[in-house]
Amino acid sequence: MRRDLSLVLLASTLAACALVSKSPALQSPLHERLSKADTPTIEAAAKDCLIHEGWTPDDLGGFAEGATVVSAKNAAKNTVSVYIQPPEMSPRVTGGPEYDDPFWGCLGRALGSAKAAPAASSSPDAP
């Protein structure tokens, strides 16, 4: 009985690891772009990409266990939630559409073309 339980636990753990390891948010170049972007930039890009893929994002954002949540639904009334984790987390984005969905490519392109926030000047003469 104990051996059966151990095998079930091992299989569950391996399956969970396989799912996370295949996440587009862990693949290059999206992983690097997510690590460099701030949360509002990722949130805006996620909403734009969801819209581009036929989803309608909710007007109000949400928070769940430290993550910013972008929820959306499509014409078939399916729902999807994208969880934007804090910068120190990896993967930075979880949830979302299926891993083979064009959303992930769109997110990578959107973050690749996003301009970085201007650096604060340390000069006392700066306006």
* pLDDT, one tens digit for every residue, the chain (127 residues): 555 545 444 444 444 444 445 899 999 999 999 999 999 999 999 999 999 999 999 988 899 999 999 999 999 999 999 999 999 999 999 999 999 999 999 999 999 987 654 444 444 444 4
Q: What is the identity of the amino acid at 61?
A: G
Mapped onto helix, strand or coil, the DSSP state of residue 80 is strand
What pLDDT is stored for residue 61 in this prediction? 81
Beta-carbon contacts of 93 under 8 Å, excluding residues fewer than 6 positions away, are 25, 34, 42, 46, 82, 83, 84, 85, 107
Element (H, E) at 95: strand 93-95
What pLDDT is stored for residue 17 in this prediction? 46
DSSP class of 67? E
What is the C-alpha radius of gyration for the chain, rounded to an integer number of angstroms?
18
DSSP class of 35? H
Structure-token match 């990409």, residue found: 49
